[in-house]
């Protein structure tokens, strides 16, 4: 599992280490990791041209010590000191002693890489115009030190001007901005340098293949179709029968023993999945996908069964209070904006804040769909999904995801974990199916069993 800790948690853990190691040792460890990552990124050191943008304090110190290491190995290193008198004195001395050059912005030369050491995790969002002007002068890949300068570290928001990096080298642990959009998009690839910090439980996490494998439901030797779980679908309508078909395909992924369908698209559903049966007892319901005017009644009927409910699309329009049963709400940004009565742009620019707000307001797990899907539980953890491909942005993919997550709920996973596992599996299936090319929702649904099979066989063998 990849954990992302807040600035406060990182600072507290660093203080413990700083109290027991020699002065400067922690920074040297970080700078050594940064220098190694830069060498790998460049592919060579001797003769490479490196430009350091150095801000005040420790972030600039990391950049200077790393620059000193590269200069000693034959790199041509220039540094623009944006921190003025607050430049890290020891780091600057080491840098000069190694042959590194300090230049003014007007003296900046062509370079192979720009090292963003302007603002670290202690900074506030946004960059001064002076820093942005220097960045705009250079056309070269950017490697950020710890975080891209200017992003909001704890929320992943980018309300002001900020660095957009090709690689971010971070220290000790990931931070929320490395996982959560829109800041995650500014990080590029993320490389973690271990500092030996003793960190607490993180509230922002990303499942990896081994955790997903451990959570996936598997039949016991004495299992039968009812003990494996039964998921019910109250989805689709005369206007949108395809939503019912896609939800049924997502639910019929082999992770439960039976799928039931109740709705107006029975003929279409049975045409693609004849194993699906009609009304009866279930362990979880999926409601709302393509439900149209039928969604309100479907939601009330599902609540009456007193089992967990996944509520999607049209079902969300009829939810004005916390559900009376355990629930997973699966909105996209526009639907969540309507639920919270805020502009859609607000949700897209601050997804973590709004997913948490919705989870608390409705007392339910909330799966906010997006490039980095978030699954938030009330007052608790947020799971960030890092699998998938841009080709997954296709009509009907959400219906497949709803069916899949509903099946996982019926198989026994609590709603927040069903959302986290389901979004991971769907993203992994999409990447296996068509990482670099188009796919359709029905293709995605049919790819899920194969992805699950490979994950259960070898969790390390896949594009995840």
Query: Which residues participate in the annotated binding site for AMP?
Result: 369-373, 398
Q: Which residue has the tokens 């989805």?
A: 235
**Residues annotated in a binding site:** 58-62, 116, 120-126, 146, 149, 243, 290, 332, 369-373, 398-399
Are 75 and 145 contacting, i.e. CB atoms less than 8 angstroms apart? no
Beta carbons of 131 and 50 less than 8 angstroms apart: no
Residue 172, phi-psi category: left (phi > 0), alpha (psi -120 to 50), beta (remainder) = left
Tell how many helices (H) and how many strands (E) occur in the chain. Answer: 17, 17
**Spatial distance between the Cα atoms of 82 and 202, rounded to a whole number of angstroms:** 33
Binding site residue list for K(+): 59, 116, 149
Neighbours of 72 (CB within 10 A): 16
339-353 in b/e form (b: 16+ CB < 10 A) is bbeeeeeebbbbbbe
**Residue 181 to residues 26, 137, 161, 351, 464: CA-CA distances in angstroms?**
29, 27, 15, 7, 19
Residue closest to 251 by CA, chosen among 265, 235, 268: 235
C-alpha–C-alpha distance, residues 248 and 250, integer Å: 5
Is 20 exposed, middle or buried (CB count within 10 Å of its CB: 0-12, 13-18, 19+)? exposed
Query: What span, in angstroms and rounded, lies between the C-alpha atoms of 454 and 449?
Result: 9
The helix (H) or strand (E) run that includes residue 135 is helix 129-137
Q: Please enumerate, by residue number, every residue annotated as part of a binding site for (6S)-NADPHX.
A: 58-62, 120-126, 146, 243, 290, 332, 399
Contact predicate 96/71, CB 8 Å = no
Max intra-chain CA distance, the chain: 78
Q: Alpha-carbon distance 298 to 15, whole Å?
A: 54
Closest C-alpha to 347, from 339, 42, 279, 248: 339
Go through the chain and tell me how many residues it has: 464
Query: Residue 174 has what DSSP assignment?
Result: B
- Placement of tokens 């089992």 in the chain: 307
Task: Please report the sign of the dihedral spanned by the C-alpha atoms of residue 142, residue 143, residue 149, residue 154.
Answer: positive
Q: In sequence order, which residues have a C-beta less than 8 Å from that of residue 270 and are 6 or more positions away?
A: 276
394 secondary structure, DSSP code: S
Residue 444 CA to residue 431 CA, distance in Å, equals 10
Could you tell me if residue 45 is left (phi over 0), alpha (psi between -120 and 50 degrees) or otherwise beta? alpha
């Amino acid at each position: 599992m990849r954990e992302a800790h807040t600035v406060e948690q990182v600072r507290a853990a660093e203080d413990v280490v700083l109290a027991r190691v020699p002065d400067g040792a922690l920074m040297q460890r970080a700078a050594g990791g940064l220098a190694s990552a830069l060498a790998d990124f460049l592919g060579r050191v001797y003769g490479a041209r490196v430009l350091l943008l150095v801000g005040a304090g420790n972030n600039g110190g990391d950049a200077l010590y790393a620059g000193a290491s590269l200069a000693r190995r034959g790199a041509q290193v220039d540094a623009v000191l944006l921190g003025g008198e607050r430049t890290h004195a020891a780091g600057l001395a080491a840098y000069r002693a190694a042959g590194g050059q300090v230049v003014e912005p007007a003296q900046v030369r062509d370079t192979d890489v720009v090292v963003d050491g302007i603002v670290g995790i202690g900074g506030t969002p946004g960059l001064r115009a002076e820093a942005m002007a220097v960045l705009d002068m250079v056309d070269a890949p950017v490697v950020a030190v710890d975080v891209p300068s200017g992003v909001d570290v704890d929320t992943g928001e980018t309300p002001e001007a900020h660095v957009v990096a090709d690689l971010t080298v971070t220290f000790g642990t990931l931070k929320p901005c490395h996982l959560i959009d829109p800041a995650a998009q500014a990080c590029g690839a993320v490389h973690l340098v271990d500092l030996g910090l003793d960190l607490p439980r993180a509230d922002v996490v990303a499942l990896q293949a081994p955790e997903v494998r451990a959570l996936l439901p598997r039949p016991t030797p004495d299992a039968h179709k009812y003990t494996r779980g039964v998921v019910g679908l109250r989805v689709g309508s005369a206007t949108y029968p395809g939503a019912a078909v896609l939800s049924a395909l997502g639910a019929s992924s082999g992770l439960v023993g039976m799928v039931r369908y109740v709705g107006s698209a029975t003929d279409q559903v049975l045409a693609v999945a004849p194993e699906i049966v009609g009304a009866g007892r279930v362990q979880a319901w999926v409601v709302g996908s393509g439900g149209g005017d039928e969604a309100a009644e479907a939601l009330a009927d599902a609540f009456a069964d007193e089992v967990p409910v996944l509520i999607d699309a049209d079902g969300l329009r009829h939810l004005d209070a916390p559900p009376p049963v355990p629930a997973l709400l699966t909105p996209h940004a526009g639907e969540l904006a309507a639920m919270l009565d805020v502009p859609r742009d607000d949700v897209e620019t601050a997804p973590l804040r709004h997913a948490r707000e919705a989870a608390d307001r409705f007392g339910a797990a909330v799966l906010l769909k997006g490039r980095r899907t978030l699954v938030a539980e009330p007052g608790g953890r947020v799971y960030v999904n890092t699998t998938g491909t841009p080709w997954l942005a296709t009509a009907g993919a959400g219906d497949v995801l709803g069916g899949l997550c509903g099946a996982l709920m019926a198989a026994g996973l609590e709603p927040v974990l069903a959302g986290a596992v389901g979004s991971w599996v769907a993203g992994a299936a999409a990447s296996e199916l068509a990482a670099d090319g188009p796919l359709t929702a029905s293709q995605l649904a049919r790819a899920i069993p194969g992805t699950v099979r490979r994950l259960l066989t070898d969790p390390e063998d896949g594009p995840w």
